[in-house]
Amino acid sequence: MKELSVLLSLILIIPYIGFAQNQVGEIEGIVKSKGEMVIGANVGIPDLQKGAATDANGFYHIKNIPAGTYTLEISSVGFQKYSETVEVQSGEILELNIELEESTLELDQIVVTGTMRKIYVKDSPVKVSVVKAAQLEQGKVSANIMDLISSVNGLSTQLNCGVCGTNAIRINGVEGPNTAVLIDGMPIMGALASIYGLNGISPSIIDQVEVIKGPQSTLYGTQALGGVVNIITKNPATTPTFSADIYGKTTEEGNVNLAYSPKIERFEGFLSGNVVRLENYFDKNGDNFNDLVKQSRVSLFGKGTLLGENMEQRLNVATKFYTENRTGGLQDFTDDLRGSDQIYGESIYTNRLELMTDYRPAGLNEQLRFSGAATYHEQDSYYGTDWYDAQQSIYFLQGTWDQSIGDHFKLLSGTTIRYETYNDNTPATSDSPDRRWIPGIFSQGELAIGDFTFVGGLRIDHHSEHGYITAPRLSAKFSPTDLTTFRASAGTGFRVVNVFTEDHAALTGAREVVFNEDLDPERSKSITASLEQIIPFGVNPLTVSLDGFYTHFSNQIIPDYDQDPNLIVYENLNGFSVTRGFSVDIDQNFTTIPFSYNASITIMDVFTEEDGNRKALVYAPDYLGTFGATYDIRSLDGLSFGYNGNLVGPKRMPNNYVEDFGLDEWSPAYSTHDLKITKEFTNVNSPNGIGFEVYVSAENIFDFKQDSPLVDPQDPFGPNFDTIYTWGPIVGRTFSLGARLNLR
């Protein structure tokens, strides 16, 4: 932990640079809409990069504004953007109360970080899909982000183990490790954490999820080959003072989540604790194995924000602790039998600690920014008689400078240093732990000319084993009208593979792992293009998005299950792999009736070509579809319906399972459907500031599930046993009942 101490010292001893201004004034007021306070609205002066967020009473206050005339802008999700010219007098407080009008054009509201700079969705030169927390949970109830992420167009979760329930995120069919998962922009989800760490992210701490498909290595590191999933945690300024959420499921899963948000002068905080417990055994598919992994999980999250004198964010510090025990296997297996050669089971103990910070010195108009993160992840696992004990640490520091040059050009430059340590009890680190220093620099220029915006960038990282690695990117946006936007991006990616942390099949099952050669890094070249069109339909606008994507991988490392039924063979592909396709996405909100819906379809062709032979990549579906809707019944005050559905196309399964066990070479297409009903009894914006609601959900309504995901489950210690014949849901229809309390 010595490196962690050094990191903390570097972050915390940065001096807080104060400055005084003469001849300054202030602006304060209240933001409302239809008589109700608007909480969390962003009120700011773009020319000065000063601003504040409205509090629980809709109040804002901006201090230390040099005397002069400025444009004041106000924005909030669900409302039309507001701007007004104001004159600030020296030594005076300008009182300005603002009335916002509702809007269904969310593209004008949501702020994203696709270019590492806060910007509205419609203005971003990089295509970013943004999903708010409410949309993630519109049809399902879960304490696990991995259960909800498939509601995003082009994203899916692949279950990698039918016994212990591991899974990974895929973007447009690309394998999970090629997706960089960030928390508040910090790339600290290492390879080991990608197996179980994502399951510890509770939706209760999420404000929104930003998905950037295609090349993003220039800003987010050279491992973002397939895309980026950026999980934005809640802003303490907009969270209730206290909240409690409790639910239970018919699987006998129970969840309790408590959160507290103190606000003291210029300090705002958010504390959340989540406990999940599921210890029920049931076997509906008749393979004698538990259909749903048993688990006990505790996740704690804390976030604090120190505001400057203008009530702008100066210092953010967040920390998360996650511990979990999960157990899968035969009915009589318990943790006391870990490593047993008589009763098969898999037992995984996971502990993970994260620390993230962000600091913006005063007096520099937020141009200079320091970010840092540290994480420690340990895993003690048994897969049958095989023991896997691993530890991974990641320390990350980043400094960026954001500079406008003239009226049309913006320059973002930065430097990063990443230190990784990894150790386990496998041959991968038998000689010594794996340690990597990865320093890097990057720069990105953004040029706006009329209706065109161009972004060009380059990143250079140095890897001790592979030398200097470059990751260029070029993006362009063309908006001939406010309703039409064209975007295109191209770039490269680079990734060093650790088989034992990224491919769960290397750990579980009876197959022997074989390396035919020293593995070279994977590389990719990608291009994406999109058209976004808003069709007004009066006050009920319809947004239609068309996206195309193409990624070419070289040196790709794909486990070969087909050479020998007793082996998993790893080697660099003597050829190439391609992911290509297109997607269509529609989204519409109605104001005449309280109804909204969204639907999408992604068609994919994912294949490898080696020695002139082309074949589909295993577990990559031919197509994916998502659809969702919400409806509020005005005649029944506080009653709302949420629906979510998913469509998954056929997937190619490993050939030897087809030949040796008569299993299907291609999985069938299927769909799942979820419905959630919520009744709100009191609203948090009521005079007493209390909000209370009850919800009930039915998930996988039509009870679709695959047969056993296991190969040869009758002989789990035998040479043919495997846990990865997984292509669909293992658990059928489930009901949930819960209640949520919020205190303003």
Domain spans of the chain, in order of start: 2-103, 111-743
Q: Give percent of the chain above pLDDT 70.
A: 83
Q: Which helix (H) or strand (E) holds 401?
A: strand 386-405
For residue 46, the tally of other CB atoms under 10 A from its CB is 12
Distances (CA, A) of 341 to 333, 346, 383, 385, 716: 11, 12, 11, 6, 10
pLDDT band at 498 (very low <50, low <70, confident <90, very high): low
Under CATH, which architecture does the 2-103 domain have? Sandwich (2.60)
Query: Model confidence over 312-370: pLDDT tens digits?
Result: 778 999 999 999 999 999 999 998 999 999 999 999 999 999 999 999 887 666 688 99
Beta strands 567-570; 512-515: pairing state: parallel
Query: Model confidence over 403-429: pLDDT tens digits?
Result: 889 889 999 999 999 998 888 887 667
pLDDT band at 17 (very low <50, low <70, confident <90, very high): very low
Residue 442 in this model has a pLDDT that exceeds 60: yes
Nearest to 225 by CA among 502, 480, 479: 502
Distances (CA, A) of 359 to 271, 441, 472: 20, 19, 27
CATH ID of 111-743, from 3.30.43.10, 3.40.190.10, 3.40.50.720, 2.40.170.20: 2.40.170.20
> What φ, ψ does residue 729 adopt, rounded to 5°?
-65, 140
pLDDT band at 212 (very low <50, low <70, confident <90, very high): confident
Q: Are 689 and 744 in contact (CB under 8 A)?
A: yes
Q: Are 331 and 288 in contact (CB under 8 A)?
A: yes
Distance CA 465, CA 472 (A): 21
Distance CA 191, CA 420 (A): 11
pLDDT band at 739 (very low <50, low <70, confident <90, very high): very high
- HSE (side-chain half, CA atoms, 13 Å) at 25: 16
What does the chain come to in residues? 744
SS (H, E, C) 712-744: CCCCCCCCCCECCCCCCCCCCCEEEEEEEEEEC
pLDDT of residue 564: 66
Q: Are 474 and 489 in contact (CB under 8 A)?
A: yes
Read off the tokens for 292.
Answer: 């749903």
Nearest to 200 by CA among 328, 37, 377, 323: 323
Instruction: Provide CB contacts within 8 A for 367, sequence distance 6+.
Output: 49, 401, 402, 403
pLDDT of residue 641: 93
Q: Helix, strand or coil for residue 432?
A: coil
